[in-house]
Amino acid sequence: MTLLPRALRAILGAGGLCLWGYTMPARAQSSTDAAVPEVKVEGIRPQRSALELKLSAERARSEPGTHDDPAKVIENLPGVARSPFGSGQLLLWGAAAKDSRVYVDGVEIPQLYHGSGVRSTVNGTLLQSVTLSPGAYGADYGRAIGGMVRLETRELPDDHHASVELSVLDASALLGARLGERVRVALGGRYGLLDRSLKLVNAPDNAEFFAVPRYRDYQAKLQLALRERESLTLVLLGSFDEAERIVSNRDPARVRRASETQGFDRLYLRYRRTYADGSLVQVAPWLGRDTSRYDASFGANPAALAQRALRFGLRAEHRSRVDSKLVLSLGADIAGASAQIERRGSLTIPAREGDLSVFGQPPGDDSNFDAWHTLLLNLAPYATLDWQLGPLTLTPGLRIAGYLLEASRNTPRIGQTPSIGQSSLHAEIEPRLNAGLRVSRRVALFAAVGLYSQPPAAQDLSAVFGTPTLGPEKALHASLGESVALAARLSLSVTGFYRYLSELAVRDPSPTPKLAGALLDGGIGSSYGVQFLIEQRDWYGFSGSLAYTASRSERRDTPESNARLFDGDQSHVLSAQGSQTLSAWTLGARLRFANGTPRTAVTGAFFDAKSAAHQPIFGTVNSQRLPSFWQLDLRLDRKFELASRALLLAYLELLNVTNHENVEEYVYSQDYARRGAVTGMPFVAMAGLRLEL
């Protein structure tokens, strides 16, 4: 079942998206496309921000550098900074990775990529689309002061189907079947092979810098057709990652061990019914579990953080037409997390944004322990109007985000004294407005503004390592842009953006912080910039895009302190990719450029006679940058029609074909007198096969 009429679905299937009666390019939804005839539809368009970039999964996975993984296409989009090598972080419009969210069918999952960033956590064959909203999104989503990525799973085909994929990274399979008239099911799984592949080629041990990831994920989907235009979908999916590294030394005080595991499971049910006039009702309760464990030792100094969280939520929405020009959506977005957390070691690990340290520096000698429980509940009713006034479309929305924040202790544990918990209620009124003006058939303007909030991280609510009384972090997003259809299937969009962050949780900079007050909620940040996207679609077999973002992201740790660059700031990010199809062959290339992220200069060192180690003396925070990154990738794929319904795709990706040595980190000699660079991925050839039946 689907919301959209058949005629419109046909257009979507051809790679377009219908937006309020005219067809937009699939990628830049806000840009017009004069070459495609206007289509009038009777349904109600899905409410989306004009800033969303939505790609079909099939198209996304064919782009160079994605390794046949649709979600990897995010790297090619504007507004997305390059994540550090091997991290898979989602850095959108200058926001920290922890401030952005990932959704599958509207259900939040904790990570888009497996720990290393090489693969997404959801099998690409199950996906219908990938949508990027770097900011200023509508009232139906929240709990994030950054941006979001949404993955939509596809409608299961009417008949039996299978997809098997094998690459040097992993092996995966997805099998689907029809059970009777109304039921369709699909089961899939993936198992990472990277550690085995590395052993096969006797790769060198670089455990000091990067851990080789081991990962697996699974998906199951059951689709039940009820009445006409009514469906029930049950999805179970999960992911698990682990990595371990050991750096040996003859001095036990210098032996380093670290093991990390993280995983999640989600089970959700989605009821969906559309009516003849396009009205929609959908309800999706969900339940899940997140686990993560970091266990390290630096000599005898331990550093451990373990979290187990029960996650639950409900998303419900009713969308109906008030009159011919007005559509009203009413919904509720509820999410909760009950977490058990245990942490041991120094306050300085895990590091926080803005901390003064150098890569590889051991944590401080200080050590403590805490075990605590949190309950973070967010109940957010929302309402949105879609109002069409001739060429102007206005989408005002209001989200009222109520937070219940509970921590099991408001002071550190002493002996067997019973704990006194901390509980607080917060209500955030979050108005949002999205506007689009169609100036001509080729030109459209759009703007968006809104208030956003997110709950504090559960791990920050420790009475020993954090502050149990932290409240929500807040943001203001604003954007203004224009999209132009330059020619048939050639579009340009330009978007300026601004984001102001407040009440961020930051370390208390005073030498003597308050009890149970290691963190303050006084951090301030801002990011602003402009992004460009030029896209050519299907021009004599050529498709390509050029995305460029110029931005600046700053933070102030207290309202009184001077602004400094955000740790992940990248002022220039460019990604250009193109593919040419020649019958069954497709040849593609991708060039990425990003200037380096900020680092704090080491201006000297002193000798710590207790640990017999030198320690760095720092200059101004984030006053220098790593060298710029650039990388050229090539992709060649070939499709083989094996039978009427059997398709084999073979692809070869040559990553970093120029073998450019990209500096990923600075490292220092023991006395900090010499500086060296850890360089990233060298020239790598990566091959894979995908068989679809």
Partner 1 sequence: MSPRREVWLLLGGLALLACRPEFEDDSWHVDSARVLAVKSEPAEARPGAHHTFTAFLSVREAPSAVPVWSFCSAPKPLTENNAVSAACLGSSALVPLGAGLSLEADTPRAGCSSFGPDSPPGGFRPRDPDITGGYYQPLRLDLAGAQPAFHLQRIACELADAAAGTATQFGLSYVPNQNPSLDPITATVSGQPVALTEIPSAARVELTLSWAESEAETFTYYDRAQQALTRKREAMRVSWYVDAGSLDTDSTGRAENDLELRVANHWIAPKTPGKYGLWVVLRDSRGGVDFSAYVLEVRP
Q: C-alpha angle with apex 350: 348 to 354, nearest 5 degrees?
A: 70
Task: Kindly tell me which residue out of 618, 624, 660, 693 binds partner 1, with binding defined by CB under 8 A.
Answer: 618
> Footprint of partner 1 on residues 222-261 (CB under 8 A)?
249-254
Question: Which region among 57-65, 127-135, 608-616, 633-641 touches partner 1 (by CB under 8 A)?
Answer: 608-616
Contact region with partner 1 (CB under 8 A), list: 73-81, 362-370, 390-398, 587-595: 362-370
Least distance to partner 1, CB of residue 406, Å:
21
User: Based on CB atoms, which residue is closest to partner 1, 10 or 612?
Assistant: 612
Nearer to partner 1, 20 or 191 (CB): 191
Compute the distance between CA of residue 464 and CA of residue 410 in angstroms, rounded to an integer: 9
Q: How far is the CB of 512 from partner 1 (least distance, A)?
A: 5
Tell me which residues in 302-341 interact with partner 1 (CB under 8 A).
302
Residue 680 found at the interface with partner 1 (CB under 8 A): yes
Q: Considering the complex, what minimum distance in angstroms separates the CB of residue 473 from partner 1? A: 19
How far is CA 108 from its chain centroid? 11
Encode burial over 267-305: b for 16+ CB neighbours within 10 A, e otherwise. Answer: bbebbbbbbeebbbebbbbbbbebebbbbbbbbebbbbb
Q: How far is the CB of 412 from partner 1 (least distance, A)?
A: 6
Q: Which is nearer to partner 1, 227 or 674 (CB)?
A: 674
Rounded to an integer, what distance in angstroms lies between the CA atom of residue 258 and that of residue 482?
Answer: 48
Indicate the helix (H) or strand (E) that contains 10. helix 6-13
Minimum distance, C-beta of residue 502 to partner 1, in the bound complex (Å): 20
Site membership for partner 1, residue 671 (CB under 8 A):
yes
Of 510, 562, 620, 623, the one binding partner 1 (CB under 8 A) is 510
Return the residue of 389, 563, 642, 684 that touches partner 1, per CB under 8 A. Answer: 684
The residues, any chain, with a CB within 8 Å of residue 467's CB and separated by 6 or more, are: 460, 461, 505, 516, 517, 518, 519, 520, 521
In the DSSP assignment, the letter for residue 432 is: E
Binding partner 1 (rule: CB under 8 A), the pick from 55, 126, 212, 649 is 212
Residues 158-187 that bind partner 1 (CB under 8 A): 167-169
Closest approach, Cβ 179 to partner 1, in A, equals 37
Long-range CB pairs of 556-564 (<8 Å, 24+ gap) are 556/523, 556/524, 556/525, 557/354, 557/506, 557/507, 557/509, 557/522, 557/523, 558/506, 558/509, 558/520, 558/522, 558/523, 559/522, 559/524, 561/509, 564/354, 564/621, 564/622
Most distant pair of Cα atoms in the chain: their distance: 78
Cα separations (Å) of 228 from 4, 177, 225, 275, 476? 13, 21, 8, 9, 42
Query: Residue 451: left if φ>0, alpha if ψ -120 to 50, beta else—which one?
Result: beta
Among 327, 434, 321, 382, which Cα is nearest to 52's?
434
Measured from the CB of residue 242, what is the shortest distance to partner 1 in angstroms? 16
Q: Which is nearer to partner 1, 170 or 554 (CB)?
A: 170
Selected from 175, 177, 198, 492, the binder of partner 1 by CB under 8 A is 198
- Nearer to partner 1 among residue 155 and residue 508 (C-beta): 508
201 binds partner 1 (CB under 8 A): yes
Measured from the CB of residue 652, what is the shortest distance to partner 1 in angstroms? Answer: 8
Measured from the CB atom, the residue of 92 and 519 that comes closer to partner 1 is 519
The CA distances from residue 111 to 142, 242, 333, in Å, are: 17, 14, 20
Site for partner 1, residues 53 to 112, rule: CB under 8 A: 85-86
Q: Kindly determine how many residues on this chain lie close enough to bind partner 1 according to the rule CB under 8 A.
A: 100
**Minimum distance from CB of 214 to partner 1 (Å)?**
12
Closest to 65 measured CA to CA, from 80, 56, 75, 78: 75
Q: What angle do CA 496, 501, 505 make, to 5 degrees?
A: 150
Is residue 606 involved in binding partner 1 (CB under 8 A)? yes
The minimum distance between CB 599 and partner 1, in angstroms, equals 14
In the list 7, 13, 206, 420, the residue contacting partner 1 (rule: CB under 8 A) is 206
CB closer to partner 1 out of 200 and 392? 200
Nearer to partner 1, 226 or 617 (CB): 617
Q: Is 194 in the site for partner 1 (CB under 8 A)?
A: yes
Q: What is the C-alpha to C-alpha distance for residues 456 and 182, in angstroms, rounded to an integer?
A: 43
Residue of the chain from 191, 312, 369, 542 that contacts partner 1 (CB under 8 A): 369
Q: Are 192 and 114 in contact (CB under 8 A)?
A: yes
Q: How far is the CB of 360 from partner 1 (least distance, A)?
A: 10
H helix or E strand, kind and range, residue 196: helix 194-200
Could you give the CA distance from residue 303 to residue 294 in angstroms, rounded to a whole number? Answer: 8
Shortest reach from residue 428's CB to partner 1, in Å: 28
List the interface residues with partner 1, window 389-448 (CB under 8 A): 412-417
**Does 367 sit near partner 1 (CB under 8 A)?**
yes
The residue among 5 and 360 lying less far from partner 1, judged by its C-beta, is: 360
How far, in Å, CA of 120 to CA of 158, rounded? 26
Q: Which of 46, 177, 185, 210 binds partner 1 (CB under 8 A)?
A: 210
- 626-665 mask for partner 1 (x: CB under 8 A)? --------------------------x------x-x--x-
Q: Are 112 and 136 in contact (CB under 8 A)?
A: no
Residue pair 82/570 in contact (Cβ under 8 Å)? The answer is yes
Per the structure block, which two tokens stand in for 17? 């998206």
Q: What is the smallest separation between the CB atom of 515 and partner 1, expressed in angstroms?
A: 5
The contact mask relative to partner 1 for 25-44 (x = CB under 8 A, - = no) is --------------------
User: Could you say which residues in the range 553-572 bind partner 1, by CB under 8 A?
Assistant: 557
The window from 124-132, 194-202, 233-241, 380-388 that contacts partner 1 (CB under 8 A) reads 194-202
Alpha carbon distance 448, 341 (integer Å) = 38
Comparing C-alpha atoms, which of 49, 94, 133 is closest to residue 447? 49
Strand extents, DSSP E, 540-601? 542-556, 564-565, 572-582, 585-594, 598-599
